[in-house]
Structure 1
């Protein structure tokens, strides 16, 4: 390909870093190469190509469009996507994003794929994350599982408008929240009426992510209470009575369609016991939470990759930016957050792979989701600022990372919901609290500051805190858990820096204000 012209009539273009070239998001990542399976190198290569990154940018620029009716006024209720979106879906579903945890791979492998895909185009992750997470929930009904799971775990992408038995693969979404309740799903008003071997649903859903999925897990009221249902999108020779009301005009996640829907006597199949809808769908929620814990780490990695590239190739005041002491301090501080978020997210994914570790996974995934998503906006903002004015321009992916940063904290349960869930889990499932304590103590004896902080934590909260202290408790516990994982698995400069600035003493709230860091070693920890 011909190189762009640097010699212009008015000036010479210089001191402008070339765009990031092809990279391998797996092989170039010092954490993934030590934790995740090596065969993910192929997915990392495909995602890291400049061509793929351009495809992701196109999917974000050309947003989905809603078509309610055909030219004759007949209902279509369809969403059309730019070809770039379908290319991203084909790459990730074809590689096993939704399938690998269930067909011989692992949750660690799945989490690594979420982490890498989030660096390039996070929007297409939404339907695939829900597809992955719906599979264990479907085990509540053997018949539905037999029909749907083989299509959900197929390593191909089939966006065709056909009933499930005619498709080579499928995706599954979720429609739970309603206008009057939001996270309080027990206030849902959607009604379900039995009709032979199936049900008919009437009502609305305020948020339906990925409305072109082939089916949705949803909650509706029966005579026995809130019940979980599987609502197919397409029927034999017909469209199910799911009306798309409008697409949400979101801050970020632009490539993905999110919608408001209404059920107009829509056909549905009961999943799980009648009246126990929350208990049934919680399996899906539990697994989506893993993805919302690891995705922000991927966003941080993506933003920092571009910031580091810029800092290494841009000069100011006779030095490259990365050799400027203050810039090095800022980047090193941000790398600590990325290291903590990534190690913590993959540590939790490893617990998902061990059935005996389920109590720990239940509490740890909530802690990881809370902490990682509070770190992500800070990292994306500061990484954007490294590029100066260019970071604020859509020519770079930095605005996308910034817009995406709040999403995973809000999706599935915002910060307050997660913190209250942490308290409930410890109160109702003593084994979860016990396994958390055990994991925290696995890192003792290696850093006296950590040991003292853990002791102080136990002394400050000998019992569960009052509700108004839930965030303080969640933050401190999550930071200690992250520190414990770093002590065991991260470079010593990273663990030392994290403990000295996040655990031992309150760190500066502004990136780069922490002192005493081994900046050179921390910067070196960003690459394998």
Structure 2
């Protein structure tokens, strides 16, 4: 018996073009990668297809499973994924989202990659982790030219070649990183894993790693303590944390004794496997000088921090689009939700935050591109701006996701809406590659050790001077904050938050939509706002802002 009819429900958003994002496309052109727009748009259509969205859903609903042994009792240390995980990975690799930009002699390669990473990441966040680490390993690996020459072309290959085989026999490689230990976390100098030199120049690695994502990768960068003294090659080693490359399969075809002990049961990021591993006299090759592991690995961390910013900006865009789509099709109290003043304020505020994150993300991608080409000013800006932005944009993501979910009401709390998955993903980027305090203190460290980074930062934001009095006042306020280094660590978050807001405001004033820039400066810099989203002042151009979603 028919008891009801379905009405006032929202139609499915998909298929849709997930590259149709003005802030993203404007940044792509502005930062020197207009040549990649057709690729980005094609990827946006693919990411927004029903097929790709189902791939992401199923890869999360059926997470990876660890098989430590085969049926006969042999140790295999294999992680089994849902088949659609491999579909997602194949598109990401074929699209050059991993190591490809390092092999492309073309201005804007890293910018194009950032835009594509953002676009395809809207299908699933989890598989972007190994893609990000493969991108980030290349500059660190170049500290060992021999290893770089051997593996870099395969790390940049657009062929996804999954399977446990000796790396040089494969058509393409995926790389991971294995740094933190249970007693140290971000304090990698507290690591206890040891590395002992062998006669052939390799090292035996012994120890336990607390959090190793993507353990099915072909190779890993890891940190271990060297003891100093005479090395097997006749040189004198330096005691301290050192960086090593460990393949899962050794050159002779035997398995490197890297034991996957268990997979982590995480809050989110379910499609991606994260693990604890043991090195049982595993074989590794040194990357960089002994005792210089932290310095070497920082290059990798800086790259993955860029992807943390991209990932958070991606989530903000997804939340904004889903919330706006719902509001445009759902009615309550005689009006569509989007026409209700309070909801319009919330949606506009979400859109402002999303645009600000995307705009600064693309600026950092441009700085990465120019720094890779040898621009020292851009390298200095990137060094401090990335730490600052990683802190703030990633910190804003969870509250943004929660507000976007609330726009859907009870429907948003149901798994099938996709909003719970987005919400569970949202805190991750603020934790990976250094949680809030680590990122904020890293920005202070850059100021103290590299004063040129502060000069580069102020040179960048001063380009917007005179365009908005609220931004001008914030820049002056920041100057006063930085003129006094008493209790600077205690004030670290306050200072870095202001730096992030000033940088975002400067980018929006110079390059953003006028309505978005005005709303951002009024609410984030001028103080005319509340704590929650949806507290924009009454005189901002809400229709102009919502027209970009």
Indicate the residue corresponding to 2:429 in structure 1: 408
Matches within 5 A, 1:497-512: 497-505=519-527, 507-512=529-534
Partner-residue secondary structure (3-state), 2:210: strand
TM norm structure 1: 0.96
Indicate the residue corresponding to 1:493 in structure 2: 515
| Distance in 1 (alpha carbons) for counterparts of 2:492 and 2:325 | 39
Once the two structures are superposed, residues 51-94 of structure 1 have per-residue CA deviations (whole angstroms, 9 ceiling, x without a partner) of 11111000000000000011121101110000011110011111
| Distance in 1 (alpha carbons) for counterparts of 2:541 and 2:277 | 53
| Distance in 2 (alpha carbons) for counterparts of 1:100 and 1:492 | 35
Matches within 5 A, 1:4-403: 9-26=2-19, 28-36=20-28, 37-38=36-37, 39-104=39-104, 106-196=109-199, 197-223=201-227, 224-235=239-250, 236-355=252-371, 356=375, 357-403=378-424
TM norm structure 2: 0.93
Indicate the residue corresponding to 1:483 in structure 2: 505
| Distance in 2 (alpha carbons) for counterparts of 1:205 and 1:24 | 40
* Structure 1 residue 506: Cα displacement: 5.3
| Distance in 2 (alpha carbons) for counterparts of 1:23 and 1:101 | 27
| Distance in 1 (alpha carbons) for counterparts of 2:128 and 2:244 | 23
| Distance in 1 (alpha carbons) for counterparts of 2:96 and 2:267 | 28
| Distance in 1 (alpha carbons) for counterparts of 2:79 and 2:266 | 16
What stretches of structure 1 move > 6 A for 4+ residues in a row?
Answer: none
Alpha carbons 1:64, 1:255 under 8 Å: kept: yes
* Structure 1 residue 284: Cα displacement: 0.5
Unaligned runs of 5+ in 1: 1-7
Partner-residue secondary structure (3-state), 2:63: coil
| Distance in 2 (alpha carbons) for counterparts of 1:459 and 1:283 | 31
Alpha carbons 2:27, 2:359 under 8 Å: kept: no
| Distance in 2 (alpha carbons) for counterparts of 1:425 and 1:507 | 31
Alpha carbons 1:217, 1:229 under 8 Å: kept: yes
The 10-residue stretch of structure 1 (35-44 or 143-152) with the greater mean CA deviation from structure 2: 35-44
Unaligned runs of 5+ in 2: 29-35, 228-238
| Distance in 2 (alpha carbons) for counterparts of 1:293 and 1:433 | 20
* Structure 1 residue 511: Cα displacement: 1.3
Paired residues, number: 518
Partner-residue secondary structure (3-state), 2:162: coil
Aligned residues: CA RMSD: 1.2
| Distance in 1 (alpha carbons) for counterparts of 2:446 and 2:347 | 36
* Structure 1 residue 514: Cα displacement: 2.4
